[in-house]
Structure formats: structure tokens, C-alpha cells
Structure 1
Amino acid sequence: MEREEAEPMPSRALDALDLRLLQCLQIDGRAPLTRIAEVLGVSDQTVARRLRRLRTTARLRVLGVIDESRLGRTNWIVRLRCTPDVAEQLAGALARRPDTSYVSLISGGTEVMCAMKPRSRQARDELLFDRLQRTPRVVSVSAHCVLHSFYGGQLDWLNKANGLAPDQQAALRPPPVEPVTDPLTLEAADEALLAVLVRDGRATLTELQAATGQSESVVKRRLERMRATGVLYFDVQFDQEPLGHEVEAMLWLTVAPAALADVGRALAAHPEVRFAAAITGQAGIVASTVYRNSGELYTYLSEKIGALAGVQAVETALTLRLVKQLAYDPGR
């Protein structure tokens, strides 16, 4: 057990212990503070104090995330080009929708990008072919179906930080997800649990009981089942600036079909990449990336992307402002 630390001064900069704590939460968002403290070799009070500080300085949130693919649903990435005077309003409206998980302003404030998780084909068509197409001052809408994820979801960028030793990670890692061949079906009680967890992944059993009207044992069993089948996992949401990431960019890579798998695997291994997936459309792969500065972005494009066989063209779009990441935060 390490020496008890003094109360840290308010700061947005994250130190090594903060990073290890974030990685602990990424591995198991519902891990008890006592287990996290044991893994990190610090006191329970230190972990609790750090969490409080991170919630303030880095806007830390642990959120439950639904893996739509396990329910037979399809994810979409939508790009909307619009006039500058409506971009923020449009982004805000999309962020408030429950079927969006990511919304950002890019490309000089004339483009909004969002990740959509429509619950049905009817909901998808109503949004893509009706509502968005008729929205005033929206110049164009392009929708790209996510065909295959190379990195992202349960494989979060924090896993590349290497803040924890393998034995520390193993002490926190939940049981492996069961293989599923057919889409799963959620019951009303499952939906009620998820409605709470997507807002607060560390909601107490008492709060989950109140939301479902079921006993603690039933709540635990349903929660364990959704985690075991991969329907539910937990993600950590926080500001990137305290980690020194001043530049965020979306890369749209035009890739020869025969090279999609190789390029995707290469991107997944790059520390700059937070998310990478094969999509429909002219750009066969989209990737979300982070850098300390624009010089690092240039180096990444010229040296790492430029060295990948099969990449024919790259469109780079800087993220000007993140409006929604998993859960809508009007204070962002």
C-alpha cells in the first residue's frame, strides 16, 4: 500500500495514477472501489478522492453501452453538410436523440457527423430519408453502414495506454463474453435496467431495483446475463485535453477491397486510433484519431498511413467540437 496522498490541487492535467484509475474503470466500469484500490496499491480513500476530482476536472463519467449488433441492429455513421448558421443547432438536436451515440462539428463548422443506432428499419428510414432530408439548410446527407469494427466499442483507446500490468488487468477483467449466433431479445426489465445504466454505469443496486421493481438477486442476475452475452458493456467518458490531446480528426480512407482487413488491423494497433471500422461508401474505412498537435497529425498521415499498402486516398476532417459522446451533456 502506497503512502496516503495529500488532497490534490485542482488541475485538468492527469498523472500516472489518474490514467491507471481510468483504465481500471474501462476494464470493469462497475468494479468496487475496494478492488480498484487493491489493484492500484492505494487506499480506498485515495481512489474515492481521485474519482471525485476526475468528475470535476475531466468530466469523468462511467456509462453503460448497448452493443446493438448483439440485438441484430445495425450502426450507421451519418455526415450532414449544412450552412454554418445552423450547424450547432442541428448538432444539438441530433445529440438529444436517444439513438445517437456520437455527434461532432467538423470541417470548418459546415458539417455535422453522428453515429446512429436506430432501433428498427422504420426508425432508420424515417430519420435518414424523411426528417434529415427535409431539414432546412441541410445541403447533403450521406449515410454509411458500419460493416465491421476493427477497433472501438469494448476495445477502448485506454487499453492502449499500458498503464496497468497484465496481472492488474486480469484482476479486474470480467468473464469473457459468450459467443452468440442469433440476435438476442431484451425483456422489459432488461430495458428498464439499461435505461438507468446508459446514464450512470455505476448506479447502485438500490437504484436499479427502484427502476425495475425487482429484487436485488434478480437485478444482479439480469445484469450479469447482459454482460455475459455482450449486450451490455461499460465505457469511460472524459475530456481528452487533460491527456494532452489537443487535436482530434476523423480519417476517411479509400482502400482497395482486398486490403480492407490488413489496413483495418494495422489501424487497430496504432496508438493514435480510438475507433476504426469498415463502412459502405467510397471511403471503405473510417477512423477516429487523437494527437497532441497538428504536427503529430501530419507525421501520422505521412509516415503511418502513407506506409499502408492499399490505401488510395485519405480525407482528413478535424473535429472542432464534440457535442455528444455516448450521453448528451449540454454543458460541453
Structure 2
Amino acid sequence: MTQNFVDELDLRIINCLQIRPRATWSVLGRVLDVDPVTIARRWERLEEAGLAWVTCYFGLPSADRVMAYLEIEIAGAQVTDVAARLAQHREIVSVHHTTGARSLVASVVGRDPAEVSHYVSESLATLDGIVAIRAEIVTGKYSDAGEWRLRALSPSQQDALQAAYPRRDTPPSTAPVQPDEGRVVRELAANGRLSTSELARRIGVSEATARRRLNRLLAEGRATFRCEISQQISGWPQTGILWARAPVGVLDGVARKLAVLPVIRACLTTTGRSNLMLFAWLRDVRELHQFERAVAQAAPEAEVIDRAFCLRSFKRILLIDDSGRIADPPVLPVDDGSMPF
């Protein structure tokens, strides 16, 4: 797998892990009717090639963490340099070079709005070339990128996987993140399929303790596992972003209607004049207008304020190289394990 080449089995394996990121190879073998050793070998090759990976994070927004999206204007030809340096910041979750009025769209995590302000006014001030920064706090998540699926599995395969790992609808705990929880999630952020024995070794506890801490995070709905894929092999290699506005009285209903559109990868509500932010993965640049038409048809109350096409992504949880693969070594999230939608 020296090139961006995957076959249908690779895509089905990734799709399985999108649904159940820590499913065992034996379960996946039964679901796909393939030798588990073959599945494990295929996944190892995908990981080594930087084409797919599993990560872990605390969900946002929460009682003790907030996320903000930044629109950043860059002077002259310094966009690539600034974006690459910005992506190295552990507070930063994603960085995209886009068309339109802003040079970069980035997301940042902080413990509260004041910490976001501190980061923007002080840490970003060290980067030469930044002309202006506008920030909006994310107020709600209606769909997130972790719920996006390849749709490579048959309905019967999906049912078999769901039956093997029934979903538990547990409201996330609102308790503050504890240091031991942060250490667990931080290790799993780089490799969400670490065995409990390896996790125990890395955080310096017994395997039983590591398993207990992980199970507690899962039982409380705090830790989220997510299988990510290089966009270049997804079938939808381009990204479109829309900023829209809906009257506050119907904002919740509008967001719910938009969140279920097949084209949507993430639907967020935010502060500011544009109170909706929508991301979609597209087959080509022409689909950006189809994306906007789908939004207009689904929710006529929503007025699209602005649109952008992503020219290149520098970070999507972990660093992305210019071929769309995960970069090595990864830059991990902030110490408490906070991660994106």
C-alpha cells in the first residue's frame, strides 16, 4: 500500500470501525466473513500508510470545555507557513486553508471562553503574518464528523455489527475531567485501538486499573472513539463549508433538519451573526452549489451568509500531510484530552 490504493474490503473494514472503533478482529471476521488475521493485517497496512486511524476524545461542548472556530486572515503568501505552524499548537483541533474572505478556518479548544481569548490574543500573536482573527464559540452539536460513514457495508452487515455491540444511550457526565481520565484519553488519542495492557504500561498502572478507568469513561458516555480516514480515499475528496443564519426561535428545529442531510459531515450552532456552521465532504468543487441547494430545500428558514471551499487541510484532530494522510509523529490534543466534534 505504497500509494493511495484501497479495495472494497479495506473500505468495509474502515466502515466497521467507524461504527464500532474498538471492535475485535474476530467479530469483524464474522461480520465480513473474512479471516480475522486478514482483517488485522489489512488494518495494520492502512494505519502504516496513514490512510485510516482510530482516535479518542472527550465530547464537546461540555461543562468544562468549549470550542471556538477561528477565521484568520493572513498577509501575502504566508498562508502555508502560518497554517503549518498553527497546526503544531496542541490547543488547535483543525486547520483548513479556504477560499473566500478568510485565509484559514481553524478550531480551538479551551477550558472556558477566557482561555480561548488568552490563546487567541497571546499564543496566536507570536505568529507573523496574521492580520485579523474572528472567533465564534460553538454552542451546540447536531451532527459531527465522527458520525460520518463510508456506507460500504450491506444492511445485513451493519445489523450484525450492531447486534454484536449494542449501543448504550448514556447521557455524558458533566463532571470535570480528572487527571487520570485525561491521561487515558491522551494516550488513546494517538491510537484508539491500544490494548488495555499497552494502555496500562503507558500510563503506569495495572491492566485492571486501566480497564476500569476506560470502562468508566465509556459507561459515563465521556470518551468518544472515532475512526478517521484520509479524505483522498473516501470517495469525497473535497470539503465545503457554509455559514448560515436562522431565527433563534426556529434555530433548533432548523439545525435538526440539516443535521440528517446525507451530504452533511458536521452541523454546529455558533454565536454571532451566522449561527449555523455546516461542513460537507464533496466529490468535486461543483458539488458546493448542490450542497447549498440541499440546505435551502431542507430548511428554507436558513439564510446562507457565506460559503468556502477547502483548498487544503493541515490538521483534522491529528496532523495531515499534503497528500491527505496522517502525518508522523502526531501532535496530540491538550492535556485533558479535549477533542473536536
What range is the shorter-chain TM-score in? 0.7 to 0.9
Distance 1:201 1:31 in 2: 11
C-alpha distance in 2 between matches for 1:72 and 1:269: 28
**Contact 1:278–1:286 at 8 Å: present in 2 too?**
yes
Instruction: Please identify, of 94-103 and 73-82, the stretch whose mean Cα deviation from structure 2 is larger.
Output: 94-103
Deviates more, 1:264-273 or 1:218-227: 264-273
Q: Is the 8 A contact 1:70 1:184 kept in 2?
A: no
Shift of 1:50: 2.2
Q: Give 2:56's aligned residue.
A: 64
Structure 2: distance between partners of 1:317 and 1:152:
19
Residue equivalent to 2:233: 242
The alpha carbon displacement at 1:318 in A equals: 0.7
1:40 aligns with 2:32: yes
- The SS at the match of 2:97 is strand
Equivalence map 1:22-33=2 (5 Å): 22-33=14-25
What is the aligned residue count?
321
Percent identity (aligned): 23
The residue that corresponds to 1:306 in the other structure is: 296
Selected match of 2:242 from 225, 244, 251:
251
Which position in structure 1 is the counterpart of 2:86?
94
Following superposition, the deviation at residue 273 of structure 1 comes to 0.9
**Residue 202 of structure 2 corresponds to residue 211 of structure 1:** yes
Q: 1:311 to 1:186 in 2, by over 3 A?
A: closer
- Deviations for 1:91-150, whole angstroms, at most 9, x for unmatched residues? 222211222221111126961111111134553221123333564332221111111111
Residues 1:10 and 1:63: Cα distance change in structure 2 (over 3 Å) = same
Q: Distance in 2 between matches of 1:207 and 1:158?
A: 29
Q: Is the 8 A contact 2:242 2:292 kept in 1?
A: no
User: Where does residue 73 of structure 2 map in the other structure?
Assistant: 81
How far apart in 2 are the matches of 1:148 and 1:159? 25
Offset at residue 56 of structure 1 (A): 4.9
Match of 2:103 among 104, 107, 111: 111
Q: Distance in 2 between matches of 1:161 and 1:288?
A: 21
Q: For residue 328 of structure 1, what is the aligned residue in structure 2?
A: 319
8 A contact 1:267–1:276 mirrored in 2: yes
Alignment of 1:166-181 (within 5 A): 166-173=158-165, 175-180=167-172
Moved more, 293-302 or 78-87: 293-302
Task: Give RMSD over aligned pairs.
Answer: 2.5
Specify the SS of the correspondent of 1:116.
strand
Q: How many Å apart are 1:63 and its aligned residue? A: 0.7
- Relative distance call for 1:201 and 1:175 in structure 2 (3 A) is same
Measured after TM superposition, the shift of residue 42 of structure 1 is: 1.2
Separation (CA, whole Å) in 2 of partners of 1:163 and 1:203: 28
Query: What residue identity is the alignment partner of 1:92?
Result: A
Quick one: structure 1 residues 295 and 28, their matched pair in 2 at CA, closer, same or farther if it must change by over 3 Å? same
Alignment correspondent of 2:135 = 143
Q: Spell out the pairing of 1:232-311 with structure 2 (5 A cutoff).
A: 232-302=223-293, 304-307=294-297, 308-311=299-302
CA distance in 2, matches of 1:55, 1:180: 29
Counterpart pick for 2:47 among 33, 37, 55: 55
C-alpha distance in 2 between matches for 1:172 and 1:58: 28
Query: 1-side partners of 2:234 and 2:150: how far apart?
Result: 14
Q: Is the 8 A contact 1:39 1:171 kept in 2?
A: no
Write the letter of the residue equivalent to 1:50: R
Q: Distance in 2 between matches of 1:278 and 1:150?
A: 8
Q: Distance between the aligned counterparts of 1:21 and 1:153, measured in 2?
A: 18
Query: For 2:160 and 2:3, how far apart are their aligned partners in 1?
Result: 27
Partners in 1 of 2:245 and 2:62 — Cα distance? Answer: 28
Q: CA deviation at 1:279?
A: 0.5
Q: 2: CA distance between counterparts of 1:164 and 1:21?
A: 15
